[in-house]
Structure 1
Amino acid sequence: MRSLQPQLRIWDISPPVHEGTPVFPGDTPYQQRWAATISPDCPVNVSEIKLSPHVGAHADAPLHYDPEGQTIGLVDLAPFLGPCRVIHAIARGPLIEWEHIAHAVDSQLPPRVLVRTYTTMPVGHWDPQLAAYAPATVERLAAMGVKLIGIDTASIDPADSKTLESHQRIRRLDLRVLENLVLDDVPEGDYELIALPLKLVNADASPVRAVLRELPR
């Protein structure tokens, strides 16, 4: 008789997306209308949506910060799927410095790192004081083999940055990035990340349904 394997726990780390979802100032907010509704003449409901691809949990494409960069529909999917480590650097200041995450970094660091900065991620309002990655932290993670970095804020750079130094680091180092994750209930530790972008052939980003799955023991 085949033994039953225990079901692995899943954490949904995607914020809700609806017409009140906050967006980066100037971005197109989520909008939805019904193109068709169930009636005697129509058997289905069909909605029409309009949004920035940076709404909610999302993956940036190189095109977002590099005029010659790949679109999200052309990027390799491998960085968005596999072992990752969640590190807490809660309320540590405007930039995530190496000293804020060093306690959870070792020689077994997976190639994906997600950093929690909020006690409670503000899913209902825009935060102009969002925490971001220090460029030197991005450099050191890349030197340790990290291929994807993530954060529970809307950007890996400060909201008022015009130079986007951390985005330019990931461009030069060929890293991938996830933003607007919800890590409130996720303990520090190692997980399997699943956060695949849509195959939007010409887009600069894509929404993702990001989840973490418990690793088998």
Structure 2
Amino acid sequence: MEDRKWIDISQPLTNDIGVWPGDTPFAFRLSFTKEQTGSVNIGQFTTSVHTGTHVDAPYHFDEHGKKVHELDLNLYVGRARVVDVTGCEMVGKEELERFELEGVERLLLKTTDGRDLNRFPEKYTVFRENIGPFLKEKGIRLIGTESPSVDAVDSKTMDAHHSLNDNGVYILENIVLTDVEPGDYELIALPLSIEGADGSPVRAVLRPIG
């Protein structure tokens, strides 16, 4: 059973974690120490909901889209397939049609051999606009990526976000698959129930199947 242990594929939330340019940095500190209270330490943190490993709710890019507390939790728990597309600058139908994806509901993309999590990447893999219809055709409802976004950092039209949303595919970003081999896994990547939010950090974990 040793090889079926849960694998953490989340970015640790540290005070020096790389964040989206201009976004709220993550910061944790003790607001009260045990010495001050006489009984306990009490911590506090501030962050963008898109820091580290996180889900995008459709409301992030669509004023009428679902918010985090309205998401179907079943999307984020269950069987997932990891495939390796490392080296691809863009990913869409052309890059994914060579993989066996029949019966896959959750697809996680390995897009890098590793990166410095304390720095926002200068380059990262983005998605083609045709990815939404392709994933819908395959029956995939959740797509995960090691990139901080499915669109380019300077995109204003958010074409990949909309392509996925228009085809019923939800988004998990900033996962860490450096030490994960391609194959099938159990996935848990539950968002926090943040009322009205456009996204949420998650603790994403995988366990090999079989």
Mapped pair 1:150 → 2:133: no
User: For this pair of structures, how many residues does the alignment match?
Assistant: 209
- Deviation, 1:19, is 1.0
1:79 aligns with one of 55, 65, 75: 75
2:23 alignment partner, SS class: coil
The correspondence of residues 107-146 of structure 1 with structure 2, limited to 5 A, is: 107-108=102-103, 110-146=104-140
Percent of aligned pairs with the same amino acid: 34
The answer for the alignment partner of 2:31 in structure 1 is: 35
Structure 1 runs not aligned, ≥5 long: 1-5
Show CA shifts across 1:168-209 (max 9, x none).
112212221100000001111111110000000111100000
Out of 162, 165, 186, the residue aligned to residue 180 of structure 2 is 186
Q: How does 1:1-217 map to 2 (within 5 A)?
A: 6=1, 8-39=4-35, 41-93=37-89, 95-108=90-103, 110-215=104-209, 217=210
- 1:65·1:171 contact (CA, 8 Å) conserved in 2? no
Quick check: 1:61–1:176 contact (8 Å CA) kept in 2?
yes
Q: CA RMSD in A?
A: 1.4
Shift of 1:135: 1.8
Structure 1 43/12 Cα, relative in aligned 2: closer, same or farther at 3 Å? same
* Uncovered stretches (5+) of structure 2, i.e. residues with no partner: none
2:192 is matched by which residue type in structure 1?
Answer: L
201 and 144 in structure 1: CA distance in 2 versus 1, 3 angstrom threshold: same
Q: Distance in 2 between matches of 1:172 and 1:80?
A: 19
What stretches of structure 1 move > 3 A for 4+ residues in a row? none
- CA distance in 1: counterparts of 2:92 and 2:84, whole angstroms: 12
TM-score, with length taken from structure 1 = 0.91
